[in-house]
Amino acid sequence: MILDKRKLAMAAGLVLAFLFYSFHLYTSLPAGHKSATAMADRGKLLWQDYNCNACYQIYGLGGYLGPDLTNAYSRRGPEYIKAFLKNGTDIMPNFHLADDDISELEAYLRDVDASGKADPRTFTINRDGTIAQE
Amino acid sequence: MERLHRNKISTEKIFILFALLLLAGAMLFGLLGALQYLIPGLLKSRLSFERVRPLHVSSVVFWIIMATMGTAISFLQEHTGKKLYSAQLLGIQLWIFILTIICILTSYCLGIFGGREYWEFPPLLSIPVVIGWILFLINFIKSAGSLKNQPVYVWMWLTGIVFFLFTYIESNLWVLPYFRNNVVNDMTIQWKSYGSMVGSWNMLIYGSSIFLMDKISNNKTYSHSSIAFALYFTGLFNLMFNWGHHIYTLPTQPYVKNISYLVSMTELVILGRIIYNWKHSVSAAKKLFHETAYRFLLAADLWIFLTLLLAIAMSVPAINVYTHGTHITVAHTMGATIGINSFLLLAMAFDILNEGCRSLEPYKKMLNRGILTANISLLIFWLSLIAAGIIKARWQMSGLQLPFSVMMQALRPWFIIFFLSGIALTTGFLLIIYPLVKNQLVCHLKWTIKRRKSSIRTKAALAME
Ligand code: HEM
């Protein structure tokens, strides 16, 4: 039987470590203070308003009906993205977006594209099981 | 009076009954979503996939949350042998959640979103969720008393409640531009909160299942043992630090990934214990197999083993780079939420709802058929998602990448199996849900009629006087 005192000490130690880890992350965010432009931020909110993530992924996370769009901007180009947003597809509804909305969503996807590469082929696999990107 | 009272549906039972309705709804939305995979553009103008997916996922998440709250509150009272600190607070908590969930599902149907993975509703609706949860916390702390000499499940309940509150608030930090303004920062905090949040509801559910196992086997030695607490601390350690595997491919801090990779390997201890305990589980199964609740627990045991195997494999970055972004992730998520969470919660729901004016004995055959159908179909369902995931993983990694739509076409046979096994899975679950809900409603109806009759009699007697 572990004594109550010991259990409390272990729990308190873990909670303190967790709080330290959490607040350390909040105050030293991984990408620093590289903020998106106001336009890209509005685009991100539109992305959420239309729940685009239910069908598409960013960095592999999201729904799986559509493809990963992290690097769609550099792979497909802005015109291709605009055409999609303007008309929808056989599967994707036409949201009848205004031109400003389309530009903001495009700015968001440009911003996401600039943040890194999500294509798994760009990773090298190390012998210890970790992965790295150049 | 006592007998009359047993028929009334208690607040805890309403939590569970509402949760069961959400589960039934979730499966129907799931089937619709799977059909939309097969018939592209189905219901595109009215109920397209970006509405159906959150309807499915949020119904599932709230099935788990409502059932978890109802069972923990119910078992807590059995554990203390006393009534809850405040029945009124519990009633308020119940109605806050019911009304909020109705608003959430309605907002999806209307196409109004907050658009965050798993919590796709507008962030304002998070306020009542937090308030309801705080009421839960207050009631729990006041009812449970001190931690002195408490079994492991009380620690687990408390941990689950506190950490869910913390991580739920954390998952809403995106409303502040400071956290939202950079996609990498935003996704790091988002998945930090989600990883730990799942760990916290698992704490609550595993806590209740340990309570239930003690109750069925009539033996309380395990829940006070050192091994139980050692496993609890291993679970807590994972809850806190093992969330980075969701974001191995995100260009975030390397230490986030390395910590997660290292911590996830402690799960091997849990896996080892399951294998070591196998013989014991089999002999317990022989003794307790007649107990319906135990059959759910046994099924969950098997799914814990399969899910943990997959989870540990996916925690290795070198494997994760293949599985990430494919249906293997969906297999893992659904395997865990159906095979573990749902089966455990159904075991508890069965135990709690079995106490009423009508026995569930006449439905035993139906329940057993439901359990068997659900398990066999879940295995096929799970394997079909893994098969689809493997094809997608190969496509993701191939040098000469065919168009996305061509790859999706290649997955079609597996989506057909996914849909068909989904129908069988839904049927299995409905065979379980139906008697549980029906029995309670009939009891409640009887209680209402009896109460009305007795009040008419009292009034008549008064009039005679
Ligand atoms: C107890 C029953 C169920 C539970 C607990 C459950 C749980 C979940 C969860 C948690 C997700 C999110 C997965 C992720 O993002 O990785 C999900 C997605 C999904 N589920 Fe279920 N599910 C259930 C039954 C079903 C059934 C019967 C079907 C129909 C065949 C179904 C179809 C789907 C579909 C189509 C998705 C979306 C996959 C995507 O993102 O593209 N689910 N489910």
Q: pLDDT digits over A22-68, tens only?
A: 999 999 998 877 778 999 999 999 999 999 999 999 999 999 999 99
Q: How far apart are CA B438 and CA B431, in angstroms?
A: 11
Answering whether pTM is above 0.80, one says yes
Q: How far apart are CA B154 and CA B144, in angstroms?
A: 8
Q: How far apart are CA A82 and CA B454, in angstroms?
A: 70
Q: Where are the domains of chain A?
A: 4-30, 38-118
Q: Of B93, B29, B38, nearest to B58 (Cα)?
A: B29
Q: How far apart are CA B119 and CA B122, in angstroms?
A: 8
Q: How far is the CA of B20 from the centre of ligand 1 (A)?
A: 16
Count of CB atoms situated within 10 Å of the CB of A4: 13
Which ligand 1 atom is the nearest neighbour of the CA of B23? Answer: 1
List of residues 6+ apart from A13 with CB closer than 8 A: none
**Ligand 1 binding pocket includes B53 (Cβ within 6 Å):** yes
Q: How far apart are CA B84 and CA B77, in angstroms?
A: 6
Q: How far apart are CA A11 and CA B405, in angstroms?
A: 50
CB A5 within 8 A of CB B224: no
Q: How far is the CA of B54 from the centre of ligand 1 (A)?
A: 10
Q: How far apart are CA B431 and CA B368, in angstroms?
A: 9
**Residues of chain B found within 8 Å of residue A4, distances taken between Cβ atoms:** 147-149
**Ligand 1 binding pocket includes B422 (Cβ within 6 Å):** yes
Give CB contacts under 8 A, 24+ apart, made by B170-179. B170/A22, B170/B196, B171/B116, B171/B119, B171/B197, B172/B123, B172/B126, B173/A26, B174/B116, B175/B123, B177/A35, B177/A41, B179/A26, B179/A29
**Ligand 1 binding pocket includes B426 (Cβ within 6 Å):** yes
What ipTM, to 2 d.p.? Answer: 0.96
The beta strands (E) that lie in B36-167 are given as none
Q: Of B100, B93, B105, B102, nearest to B68 (Cα)?
A: B93
Nearest-CB residue to A51 (from B50, B180, B249): B50
Q: What DSSP string runs through B376-419?
A: HHHHHHHHHHHHHHHHHHHHHH-SSPPPHHHHHHHHHHHHHHHH
Alpha-carbon gap: A61 to the closest alpha carbon of chain B (Å): 6
Alpha-carbon gap: B249 to the closest alpha carbon of chain A (Å): 6
Nearest-CB residue to A14 (from B188, B237, B397): B237
Helix, strand, or coil (residue A61): strand
Q: Of B195, B45, B200, nearest to B136 (Cα)?
A: B200
Exposure string for B96-112, b = 16+ CB within 10 A, e = fewer: bbbebbeebbebbeebb
**Residues of chain A found within 8 Å of residue B177, distances taken between Cβ atoms:** 35, 41
Torsion-angle region of B70 (φ positive above 0: left; ψ -120 to 50: alpha; else: beta): alpha
CB B334 within 8 A of CB B382: yes
- Written as tens digits, the pLDDT of chain B (465 aa) is 344 445 678 999 999 999 999 999 999 999 999 999 999 999 999 999 999 999 999 999 999 999 999 999 999 999 999 999 999 999 999 999 999 999 999 999 999 999 999 999 999 999 999 999 999 999 999 999 999 999 999 999 999 999 999 999 999 999 999 999 999 999 999 999 999 999 999 999 999 999 998 998 888 888 999 999 999 999 999 999 999 999 999 999 999 999 999 999 998 888 888 777 877 777 777 777 677 888 999 899 999 999 999 999 999 999 999 999 999 999 999 999 999 999 999 999 999 998 777 888 899 999 999 999 999 999 999 999 999 999 999 999 998 889 999 999 999 999 999 999 999 999 999 999 999 999 999 988 988 898 889 889 888 888 887
Helix, strand, or coil (residue B204): helix
Q: Of B99, B20, B13, B126, nearest to B63 (Cα)?
A: B20
Please indicate if any CB of chain A lies within 8 Å of the CB of B322: yes
Under the banding of pLDDT at 50, 70 and 90, the label for residue A1 is: low
Interface mutation target, options A23, A29, A58, chain B, most CBs of B under 10 Å: A29
**Residues of chain A found within 8 Å of residue B316, distances taken between Cβ atoms:** 129
Q: Of B59, B51, B54, B66, nearest to B96 (Cα)?
A: B66
Q: How far is the CA of B38 from the centre of ligand 1 (A)?
A: 15
Which ligand 1 atom is the nearest neighbour of the CA of B381? Answer: 30
Q: How far apart are CA B397 and CA B308, in angstroms?
A: 25
Q: What DSSP string runs through B49-60?
A: HHHHHHHHHHHH
Helix, strand, or coil (residue A62): strand
**HSE on the CB side for B188, CA within 13 Å?**
27
Q: How far apart are CA B169 and CA B167, in angstroms?
A: 5
Fold type of domain A38-118: Cytochrome Bc1 Complex; Chain D, domain 2 (1.10.760)
Q: How far is the CA of A94 from the centre of ligand 1 (A)?
A: 25
